[in-house]
Structure 1
Amino acid sequence: MKVDVSTVSRPELRGLSEAAGAMFLVGTLAGVSGVIGDYPVYGGQAMRYLLAAVVLLAVARMAGLRFVRLTPGETALLAALSLTGLVIFNVCVIEATRHGGPALVGTVLGTVPLALALLGGRPSPRLLSAAAVVVTGATVATGLGSGEAAGLLWSLGALGCEICFSLLAIPLLPKLGAVRVSAYSASLAVPLLVVAGLLADGTAMIRVPTAPEIAGLGYQSLVVTAVAFFLWYDALPRLGPGTAGLFAGLIPVGAIATGAVLGLGAPSPPDLLGAALVVAGIVLGLRAGAPAAGADSPPAKAPRPAGAG
């Protein structure tokens, strides 16, 4: 099975590589989560997004991207994106892991490609089939897991927030661009997480991190947040949510690869089979061809972000 790259435009090729890189990097989060497992969750996430916001705002300034004044509706949309896609998502994942384990969470999040394909427009039957193959591969790689009903409900909440992370950003990207959407959403997440941390842990929400915790939080901030957010938000308008969503299946693949590199365990046969199914599903989706007008494909020429250059 082969994709004819000669028929793919340069913006689409860039979008494909960015979507793949973003979701793979998100998958590496599992490899470093053990390093910061003892650090207060909400305080650690607040520090993560604070550092990421500082980096992204500095990048925007160096790129000459001036501050853009938002309408009340756009401000509400950005706040909803930050609240659901960043803050509540983390809460749901934390609680789902406590009640059902990481395997259950990973399996439910493996349905993101299918959900985005269904919600992203009028997907072709082949794109839906590809999304189903990706979901199957992610499920095999992650394992069905076990847990109580509360774990499943929290996992479903995380799935909804992951979908909001993409769909709520799409109306904002033409005006703000990927850097500012990433920077603004990360900035808004900080005070929200601080409030949640004070309510949950009080003053114990933050302490001086150890050297390994500094490395883990720094990796989350710079790689999983700043870099991955930009890559994902830059890819979305180039590909559309249905096609870009296929690459969410690379999350467990990134986790498997990171575990092997860090010596946390060699991948098992189900891991390798799941990874192969994910890749096969992505290739099948890319072979689906351009969807019908108004379907999953992005407009031929996206509006130029304000202040770009």
Structure 2
Amino acid sequence: MPLSPTASGGVRAAAAMTVLGCSTGATAGLTDYPLYGGQTLRYLLAAALLLPLARRGGPLRPRPSGGELARLALLAATGLFAFNVLLIQALRRTDPAAVGSVVGCTPLLLAVLGPLLARRRPQARLLAAAAVVVAGAAVTQGFGPGDPLGFLLALGTLACEAAFSLLAVDLLPRLGPVRVSAYTTALAVPMFGLTGLALQGGRMLRVPTAGEAAALLYLAILLTVVAFLLWYTALGRLGPERAGLFAGLIPVTAALSGAALGTGGLHPGELLGSALVGLGVCAGLTVRQQPSPDGPVAAEHKAAEAAQAPAAR
């Protein structure tokens, strides 16, 4: 029996955020590698995998219009380029727990901005569910010391995290998750590469160690290719406000993966926070979304129903 759009979207969103949460170890393994060079290699490899995947049915059609191309470039500049740069800079000035607590507000931000951008009123039950998820993420992550500039950088990271989803919503019905992922990933390559050449010159690249190469492969293949496709598919089926609830899984899966790898241990606060995140996600998914008749979520639901027909396979 096929899953409903809500159930299949929830599974994909949870899987994407699990991959993202477990990426903390891989990211830590690249702290000594040049930032811009490492990100250039990451997105270059991801684009090399995604672009052929997007072309498997023939030429890249439909081609993005001028407006869509501008939105894709803005998505790459904020959700990929600025997000990674601001995150690294914030972590250099502020305790990771404090940064995680700020970025953990993503569900609440999407629950407010998602419907507003679609000219809908935010639903009170979804806002309440998002608040529970944010509280659980904060309890799981904990709070840490930091300076004012670090806090501002963390706020910028939060804004870029929200832009990664909000800017994609109107692109998904026509271009689809594969093309949106492929185009934005390809556009991010020159952004990181040219910035690295301008700031670091030939020092932006060096031969990675075995550990750094493994981290780059994880970030490129699992996080950028697999998680991007899972997340954008879930975003189209759930909408930004309900999909955003799953961002609360990031600190939970980071804590669980750390305990599984022996780099950290589970504490009562992390268990309590995990329970709160689960409660908020479940409560949010029970809220029936009210998309506009011709909105992107409605179009995605129609596409999902058509995909389940025998002729589509």
> Fold-level match, TM-score > 0.5?
yes
Task: State the TM-score, normalized to the length of structure 2.
Answer: 0.90
Equivalent residues of 2:170, 2:296 under 8 A apart: no
Equivalent residues of 2:237, 2:300 under 8 A apart: no
State which of 70, 77, 81 in structure 1 corresponds to 2:71.
77
State which of 20, 25, 28 in structure 1 corresponds to 2:19.
25
2-structure distance, mates of 1:65, 1:265 = 47
1:45 aligns with 39
Q: Deviation string for 1:210-268 (max 9, x for gaps)?
A: 11111110000000110000001011111011100000001111211221222101122
2-structure distance, mates of 1:210, 1:232 = 30
Residue identity matched to 2:88: I
2:230 aligns with 231
Q: Deviation string for 1:72-127 (max 9, x for gaps)?
A: 11111000000000000011101110111211211111100000001111232211
2:178 aligns with 179
Equivalent residues of 1:16, 1:239 under 8 A apart: yes
How do residues 28-107 of structure 1 correspond to structure 2 at under 5 angstroms?
28-64=22-58, 66-107=60-101
2:118 aligns with none
How do residues 260-299 of structure 1 correspond to structure 2 at under 5 angstroms?
260-288=259-287, 290-292=288-290, 294=292, 298-299=297-298
Secondary structure, aligned partner of 2:32: coil
1-structure distance, mates of 2:219, 2:146 = 27
2-structure distance, mates of 1:258, 1:42 = 27
- After superposing the two structures, state which structure 1 stretch, 261-270 or 47-56, moved more: 261-270
Residue identity matched to 1:285: G
2-structure distance, mates of 1:156, 1:265 = 26
Equivalent residues of 1:25, 1:223 under 8 A apart: yes
2-structure distance, mates of 1:167, 1:160 = 10
Task: State the TM-score, normalized to the length of structure 1.
Answer: 0.91
Is 1:154 aligned with 2:148?
Answer: no
Deviation at 1:193, TM superposition (A): 0.3
Deviation at 1:292, TM superposition (A): 3.9
Equivalent residues of 2:10, 2:234 under 8 A apart: yes
Secondary structure, aligned partner of 2:272: helix
Secondary structure, aligned partner of 1:291: coil
Equivalent residues of 1:106, 1:142 under 8 A apart: yes
**Unaligned 5+ residue runs, structure 2?**
116-120, 305-311
Deviating runs (4+, > 4 A) in structure 1? Answer: 300-305
Number of equivalent positions: 300
Flag the 1:235–1:301 CA change in 2: closer, same or farther, 3 A. Answer: closer
1-structure distance, mates of 2:291, 2:45 = 41
Equivalent residues of 2:236, 2:300 under 8 A apart: no
**Unaligned 5+ residue runs, structure 1?**
1-5
1-structure distance, mates of 2:199, 2:270 = 36
Q: CA RMSD in A?
A: 2.2
Q: Deviation string for 1:283-309 (max 9, x for gaps)?
A: 111223x1345499931655759xx99
Residue identity matched to 2:260: V
Q: Deviation string for 1:154-212 (max 9, x for gaps)?
A: 00100111111001111111111001100110100010001221233221111001111
2-structure distance, mates of 1:61, 1:18 = 23
